Structure 1
Amino acid sequence: MKNRKIWIFASLGAAALAALLIHGSKSPPSWAKIKQLTTQSLAPKNQQAPVTTLAPVTIRESEIRAGSTLYEALRAAGIGKPDTIEVIDTLKKLIDPRRLSAGTVIEAYFNQETSDRPHTVDLQLDSLRTLRASFVPDAGWISEIFDTEVTTEMASFSGIVESSLWNSATLAGMDPNIIYQLAEIFAWQVDFNREVQLGDRWRLTVEKRLVDGEVIGYGNVTAAEYENVGTLYSAVRFDRDGSNGRFFRPDGESLRRMFLKSPLKYGRITSGFQANRFHPILGVNRPHLGIDYGAPTGTPVMSVGDGTVVLAAVRGGSGKMVSIRHNGVYQTHY
């Protein structure tokens, strides 16, 4: 358990915030490892606490470890047994404590270094949500979940394919997972499983999400370009109220076509369409009238176009098969 002391500006309206940190000849308990920090308040970022006086606060930290419980983590933060039970009871109104993941950080705020009753207990559920239990005199413990304020900025990246599209994103300092968005945007123009070539160029602008100045993830790509063997494709995102954004060329034409170039956003081809292929199991030459893709288990497979499912069953050597009729001419099988 970590322990630190901060000075916090808060109203003295509640008795719990009125006590001062006791200084004297007593040495701090064994868990005390105190640092001096400064903060505005314990209120959520979008709520300003009234500033009236200076009161010292000690923060003790712990976390839920693998195989342990919330009860054990709260006790490790120096919270007394009665308050631990009451904190858990009030938190149960909002979450199931058994579903809290290992590594969940707990911060307990105390007005006195020697006290075992905090006035506030925070559990960081994720980068955007904090679960808080607060002790209110004459009312007991209450709980709430508040969202962390997230700001959005635009970030631009560009790269050249020297070995793979994925590696080009890494070299550009971009989260490689954004490549999946790029592949989806131009899925009607480029088959990113087999048509990516060395020397291809790309660039894009994407929403960057930050909390307290730190990047926590990325949102939607808003504009992108991909140059494939000298052919340049451009896309701009357009959002309509109540609908998902769609991409258009700079002249206003939609990028969508009747069929996608591939049923996978990103993967590899293990066997192509061939009129005469050596069958690896039967040991004879025969036509292979389809394309085999390799991808991790659970990878989404998309229909290459709108249509009606006409078959979903096991079909001999093809295994589990889904057939989709797109119109009176075209039908695809997966």
Structure 2
Amino acid sequence: MLFNALNSFVINKVFQNNRFPLWAIVVLGSTALAITLSNRDILEGKAELPHGVSPSWPFEPLPYIPESNKKFVPVDPAIKTIQVEVASGESLSLIFQKVGLPDVDLLNILSLNKDSEKLKNLKPGQKIKFELSDDLLQKLVVEITNLESLIFSRQGESFSMRREAVKPDTIVVTAGTELKTSLYIDGKNIGLSDSVIMQLTAIFAWDIDFTQNIRIGDRFKIIYEKLEIKGEYYKTGRILAAEFVNRANRYTAFLNIDNNGNNSYYSEKGHALQKTFLRNPVDSVRISSRFNLKRKHPILNRIRAHKGVDYAAPIGTPIRATADGQVKYLGVKGGYGNTIELQHGGKYTTLYAHLSDYAKGLKIKSTVTQGQVIGYVGKSGLATGPHLHYEFRVNGEHRDPLTVKLPAERPINIKYKTAFEERTRMLISLLNHSKAHDTRETKKITETIIRLYSKR
């Protein structure tokens, strides 16, 4: 060891000064003599050989290693893996300190690009994996979301970064039940998520009044997507097909996705479920007064036709336009109080009265879309309590909003019809399967459905 250090010192001096002085020759010569004497002692058995060294060393040649195989000679040190779940209030800097890593590695990682800036705002529950070799960081894996991770790998003194995306596996699930308590409770009892239950009510919202007309004994069956990552549940996806029997009336829905990625539902005959008008302009409320041309007014105390439907709801409940249209009137209108009137083409108008406020930015001649919030429930004008008064008119004549025949639904676009009918036949087969909760016996059909919908 001493000889090696001395030789290195001499050689460096020679290269620095670009000359070979007498003292350098003396030192190198002495070193060579000492090595020779040492080797003689080894050969004569006077010195102890290091473990594993042959007595003929250094005269025995070393084994030949082909140039192409030299890269396999070094053995990487063992990799140590540390898994961390981010706790509330923790930063990556604090986690690096806990793991015992230097700040310089963190700075190199954070300064790589814009993606690495995502590491500055970690959220509780995020997962981080460190891979260390001899206490040196070799790889850092940060889970940004369940579907995306950033991977940083050491490249000498710096790091490289790549993004890894995970695509969930799609499982087709069938479920169904008969209502014994309520749609929500019975749906939860068979394992449906809130998202699936809300999708179900939204799909049939144009045909079924889920706030008024659901009855014990109604039943439904659905086919929906369940998404998994590495075999573990991630979330529920879209409803692909549904059947709902309400008061002995059967309704069906099958998903179609157009070339722009827009989802819409059609009956098995290809008629759109989304009607031109919604039945109800407010969600999850009770009807306090129905359409009645001979009703006695609760405040005026005399017979006065009630030309609409009253929906009792807390002040501030959002009110939605029941169809696309244009604001015809907005302001105070006698006993109606704060009122909005919408024109829907040349034939239909709707009126919304007793509002507490209007949606921000709404004014006369503003265009609105179906489902858009236009105002909020109140009790302005002649009202005994907070509610929405809703009217529906056809060519100026008042009609009962709950029973009026709405404009005909649109048929499916001809260019999607063949593919839609193919998917619908398979989905109907699953809906009619005797074991609604078991898709193993229909594996071939479900695999085909997954393939067809994954293309959309």
TM-score normalised over the length of structure 1 = 0.71
- Matches of 1:263 and 1:269 in 2, distance apart? 12
Partner of 1:82: 104
Q: Secondary structure at the match of 2:107?
A: helix
TM-score normalised over the length of structure 2 = 0.53
Which amino acid in 2 is paired with 1:136?
A: Q
2:92 to 67, 70, 73: 70
1:254 Cα deviation from its structure 2 partner: 2.1
Gaps of at least 5 residues in structure 2 are 1-69, 353-374, 376-456
1:309 Cα deviation from its structure 2 partner: 3.2
Which amino acid in 1 is paired with 2:86?
A: I
Which has more strand, going by share of residues?
Answer: 1
Which amino acid in 2 is paired with 1:162?
A: K
Partner of 1:209: 227
- Matches of 2:175 and 2:91 in 1, distance apart? 43
Equivalences for residues 103-118 of structure 1 within 5 A: 103-112=125-134, 115=135, 117-118=136-137
Q: Is the 8 A contact 2:252 2:267 kept in 1?
A: yes
Aligned pair in 2 of structure 1 residues 296, 310: CA closer, same or farther (>3 Å)? same
- Max radius of gyration: which structure? 2
- Matches of 1:148 and 1:121 in 2, distance apart? 17
- Matches of 1:168 and 1:262 in 2, distance apart? 24
Partner of 1:136: 155
- Matches of 2:262 and 2:75 in 1, distance apart? 51
Moved more, 123-132 or 323-332: 323-332
Equivalences for residues 155-304 of structure 1 within 5 A: 155-264=173-282, 267-269=284-286, 271-273=288-290, 275=295, 289-292=308-311, 294=313, 302-304=320-322
1:226 Cα deviation from its structure 2 partner: 0.6
Q: Is the 8 A contact 2:109 2:116 kept in 1?
A: no
| Equivalenced residues, count | 279
1:187 Cα deviation from its structure 2 partner: 1.3
- Matches of 1:126 and 1:295 in 2, distance apart? 38
Partner of 1:153: 171
Equivalences for residues 89-104 of structure 1 within 5 A: 89-90=111-112, 92-104=114-126
- Matches of 1:316 and 1:77 in 2, distance apart? 71
1:20 to 77, 84, 90: 77
Q: Is the 8 A contact 2:174 2:222 kept in 1?
A: yes
| Seq. identity, % | 21
- Matches of 1:316 and 1:68 in 2, distance apart? 59
Q: Is the 8 A contact 1:77 1:107 kept in 2?
A: no
Aligned pair in 2 of structure 1 residues 316, 67: CA closer, same or farther (>3 Å)? farther
1:318 Cα deviation from its structure 2 partner: 8.1
Q: Secondary structure at the match of 1:183?
A: helix
Aligned pair in 2 of structure 1 residues 59, 293: CA closer, same or farther (>3 Å)? farther
Aligned pair in 2 of structure 1 residues 96, 317: CA closer, same or farther (>3 Å)? farther
Aligned pair in 2 of structure 1 residues 70, 312: CA closer, same or farther (>3 Å)? farther
Partner of 1:29: none
Which amino acid in 1 is paired with 2:189?
A: L
What is the root-mean-square deviation of aligned Cα atoms in Å? 3.7
Which amino acid in 2 is paired with 1:180?
A: M
- Matches of 1:232 and 1:322 in 2, distance apart? 35
Which amino acid in 2 is paired with 1:164?
A: S
Q: Is the 8 A contact 2:126 2:143 kept in 1?
A: yes
Which has more helix, going by share of residues?
Answer: 2
Aligned pair in 2 of structure 1 residues 146, 304: CA closer, same or farther (>3 Å)? same
Which amino acid in 2 is paired with 1:268?
A: V
1:73 Cα deviation from its structure 2 partner: 2.1
- Matches of 1:182 and 1:255 in 2, distance apart? 12
Which amino acid in 1 is paired with 2:138?
A: H
Partner of 1:61: 83
